[in-house]
Amino acid sequence: MKKRFVLGTIILFPIYVCLIYVYLFHWTTPGVPEAYQGTVADPVTFMTAQEVELSQEYSRYRNLLFFIGIPLEALIYIGILVFGWSPIFKRFGQRISFLSIPIYVLLVSAVVWIFSFPLDYVGYRLSAHYGISTQTFSSWMSDELLSFWIGFIIMAILITVLYFLMKKYQKRWWLLAWALLIPFFTFMMYIQPVLIDPLYNEFTELKDPDLEAEILALADQADIPADRVYQVDMSEKTNAMNAYVNGIGDNLRIVLWDTTLNKLDEKETLFIMAHEIGHYVMNHLYMNLAGVIASSFIGLYVTYRLMHVVVRRWGENLGVTRVSDIASLPMLLLLLTVLSIASSPVELAISRQAETAADEYALEMLPDSEAAIGSFQELTVNGLSEVNPPALVKLLRYGHPTMMERILMIQENGSGVCRP
């Protein structure tokens, strides 16, 4: 089994990477269709020739890294099983009985992090080379380690509870686990803005009182219970721009990156905030929560059905005695990873519909197409974004409509004319 896995990976993975490379660099043509050339959606009308060239290069390399990463995590889990590391991790954890599962989770998480690190580092270097990331290596590494430990703590808690349920309720563990995930997801959504996000960046009250008053007026118009707007110092890490409304209840926050404040004028910033407010007004935050809950129900049930098949067929050779054996965790994570990849096109398509609706809401709230198109153009320039990505990239990567689609929608529905 080891030999087949190694040979299969050595032969098939490079073929896969080569096919993706050919698709991205030779089978697809950058730019907009001929019908839209010369319009405000065409990057040559609002980017310099050098910026257009850099955006095409950066997008292709970034997309290549994304596609390389798709099967990587699954291969790592298979490798842990095939090379017999899973029972070794289990025995190591059992030496400290009351922490056996957290120790096992730590070892698996460390292996995944170590084997994923080279690709993550290349992504960081690529972003820095093209001027998107402004982060020093030490700062980036600090964020990476912070994410690792936060992810480990959350995962250790979830896996400990999950395998307790597996042992106690062999036929209903998936349903009970799903029921417990509902308050967990809600709790995480509640604490994210005030406990987790500040671990990465410093949040302060918006320094421009006039702009804050304008944004709060929009929020009040949309019945958003907010009395302040936060800005986050992201310019130390990136030149990209962003803004968002997240959290629920009294932890809801309206947030602007300082890069957005630095690059956009007031009207453009207000349009971006109107878009984010649209998500709140149309209950997209709660719809996202409901979607995660619904998808977790399906995912856990399918995993429950498949786990028995996988353990029965391959468990003995892989050192996994039963489904509730903690050594089966890589199998569980492998199945969940595959299901996540398979479901992502549907989830992303739903997300694109929600983003389109938020754009339409923003245009109704602030019918200034010049500011709207200007903001999208600036987002494209500062992120070296691809306005019209290849179909496969859009299918598997884009939770937003393409910039070409967004700008054309604004142009068709708005009344203004974008500045040159």
Domain-by-domain residue ranges, the chain? Answer: 2-202+282-413
CB 255 within 8 Å of CB 202: no
pTM score of the predicted model: 0.91
21-48 pLDDT, tens digit per residue, is 999 999 998 889 999 999 999 999 999 9
The residues pairing with 254 across neighbouring beta strands, listed in sequence order, are 245
Instruction: Extract the tokens encoding 193.
Output: 């803005």
Instruction: Extract the tokens encoding 334.
Output: 């492998």
| Positive/negative CA dihedral, 157, 294, 192, 262 | positive
307-348 pLDDT, tens digit per residue, is 999 999 999 888 898 999 999 999 999 999 999 999 999 999
Q: Which residues contact 109 (CB under 8 A, 6 or more apart)?
A: 148, 151, 152, 155
User: Within 10 A of 160 (CB to CB), how many other CB atoms are there?
Assistant: 17
Q: Residue 98: is its pLDDT beyond 80?
A: no
Distance CA 405, CA 199 (A): 35
Q: Output helix, strand, coil percentages for the chain, rounded to the nearest 5.
A: 75, 5, 20
Predicted local distance difference test score (pLDDT) of residue 417:
40
Catalytic residue among 212, 276, 355, 405: 276
Q: Which residues contact 250 (CB under 8 A, 6 or more apart)?
A: 225
Q: Which residue has the tokens 């990477």?
A: 17
Q: How confident is the model at residue 228 (pLDDT cuts 50, 70, 90)?
A: confident
CB 358 within 8 Å of CB 108: no
Q: Known catalytic residue: 316? A: no
CB 232 within 8 Å of CB 244: no
Predicted local distance difference test score (pLDDT) of residue 15:
96
Mean pLDDT of the chain: 92
Which among 331, 325, 332 has a CA at the least distance from the CA of 100?
Answer: 325
DSSP 115-154: HHHHHHHHHHHHHHHTTSB---HHHHHHHHHHHHHHHHHH
Distance CA 180, CA 160 (A): 13
Distance CA 124, CA 100 (A): 34
Predicted local distance difference test score (pLDDT) of residue 252:
86
Residues in the chain: 420
Instruction: Count how many Cα atoms sit within 13 Å of the Cα of residue 118 in the half-sphere of its side chain.
Output: 5
User: Within 10 A of 249 (CB to CB), how many other CB atoms are there?
Assistant: 9
Which among 203, 354, 134, 366 has a CA at the least distance from the CA of 269?
Answer: 366
Going by their DSSP bridges, the two strands 203-205 and 243-246 should be labelled as unpaired
Predicted local distance difference test score (pLDDT) of residue 418:
39
